[in-house]
Amino acid sequence: MGICDNRTIIVTGSGSGLGREYALLLAGEGANVIVNDIRPEAAASVVKEIEAAGGKALANSDDITSMDGAQRIVDGAVARFGDVQGVVNNAGIVRDRMFASLSEQDWDDVIRVHLKGHFCLASILVRRWRDQVKNGQKVDARIVNTSSGAGLQGSVGQSNYAAAKGGIASLTLVQAAELGRYGITANALAPAARTGMTEKVFADVMKKPDGEAFDHFHPGNVAPLVVWLCSPLSAGVTGKVFEVEGGKLSIGDGWRTGKVRDKKARWQPAELTEVVESLIAEAPKPQKVYGT
């Protein structure tokens, strides 16, 4: 028996890296897994691994950045397994440039894959789950999004990626606030792991250790939280952004209103220097932007 028995979960970008680890462990915990990846051979390879271990999975290479593609993914899952109980929005790309050198295409590609890719599948599924509730069916559904430390505190050379990941964190908060009435939870991850997107930039920091030492940046270290979030055990948890690295787990503490100065009247521009300086002095020191 596993904690995700008989639950069908879609995992995007699951042909390698983090997504592959999520798919394998979800299947190991009893889930039917839709292995979505734009590389058909990669998706098929993961499905083969799952089936060899006795699990159930379906390979899919439809486009997550279009509503038509998202609908085909959901339709395929329903046709094979009867229903869908969750989605792990994991697929992503990077187009790293300093902001002054960033092209319009660099911006559009990253925003499309991350932000629109998170929207399309969730939109199709939420409408399906809402209709089920309206028809008297009990829903216990999960949206697991992927933010990043870059989205939570910024990252030099990744303004497009950081903007997309910050947007995903905010999207998660709104989804959680709006969708709880339908039995849907929404949470996000900010994982730190060795993947195709990080191995070049952080090759030395994230390299596999020698011998039997704990592999701190192995992507499999993130998978247990994803499986738990997709399971019935997490029904009471929503609207959180989890930071995961190695054996470390924390919940991000987002933007909050800081100290307030209230003049009870309109400020004059020249008097704001002293006010702003005092507010900055009293505020908690922010985490540094990555790369500074």
Answer whether residue 273 is part of any domain.
no
- pLDDT of 200 above 60: no
pLDDT band for position 286 (cuts 50, 70, 90): confident
User: What is the average pLDDT across 148-176?
Assistant: 95
Residues 6+ away with beta carbon under 8 Å from 282: 258, 259
Q: How would you class 113 by CB atoms within 10 Å of its CB: exposed for 0-12, middle for 13-18, buried for 19 or more? A: buried
Answer whether residue 22 is part of any domain.
yes
Q: Considering only CA atoms, which of 120, 92, 95, 93 is closest in space to residue 107?
A: 95
pTM for this model (two decimals): 0.92
User: 144 by DSSP, 3-state: which?
Assistant: strand
Q: Considering only CA atoms, which of 252, 127, 118 is closest in space to residue 179?
A: 127
**pLDDT tens digit sequence for 175-192:** 999 999 999 999 999 999
Is 165 marked active-site? Answer: yes
pLDDT band for position 207 (cuts 50, 70, 90): low
Distance, in Å, from the CA atom of 162 to the CA atom of 152, rounded to the nearest integer, reads 8
Answer whether residue 127 is part of any domain.
yes
Residues 6+ away with beta carbon under 8 Å from 271: none
Answer whether residue 284 is part of any domain.
no
* Residue in 148, 155, 159, 234 annotated catalytic: 148
Answer whether residue 246 is part of any domain.
yes
**Percent of the chain at pLDDT exceeding 70:** 95
Q: For residue 197, what is the domain's CATH number?
A: 3.40.50.720
**pLDDT tens digit sequence for 212-255:** 777 888 999 999 999 999 999 999 999 999 999 999 999 999 88
State both tokens at 1.
């028996």
pLDDT at 3: 98
* Residue in 155, 161, 231, 240 annotated catalytic: 161
pLDDT at 204: 58
Q: How would you class 227 by CB atoms within 10 Å of its CB: exposed for 0-12, middle for 13-18, buried for 19 or more? A: buried
User: What is the average pLDDT across 265-290?
Assistant: 94
Q: Considering only CA atoms, which of 143, 144, 145 is closest in space to residue 182?
A: 143
- pLDDT of 82 above 60: yes
Answer whether residue 89 is part of any domain.
yes
User: DSSP readout, 58-72?
Assistant: EEE---TTSHHHHHH
Answer whether residue 291 is part of any domain.
no
* Residue in 147, 165, 234, 240 annotated catalytic: 165
Domain count, the chain: 1
Is 148 marked active-site? Answer: yes
Answer whether residue 193 is part of any domain.
yes
Q: What is the mean pLDDT of the chain?
A: 94
pLDDT band for position 202 (cuts 50, 70, 90): low
- pLDDT of 201 above 80: no
- pLDDT of 290 above 90: no
Expressed as residue numbers, the domain containing 22 is 8-251
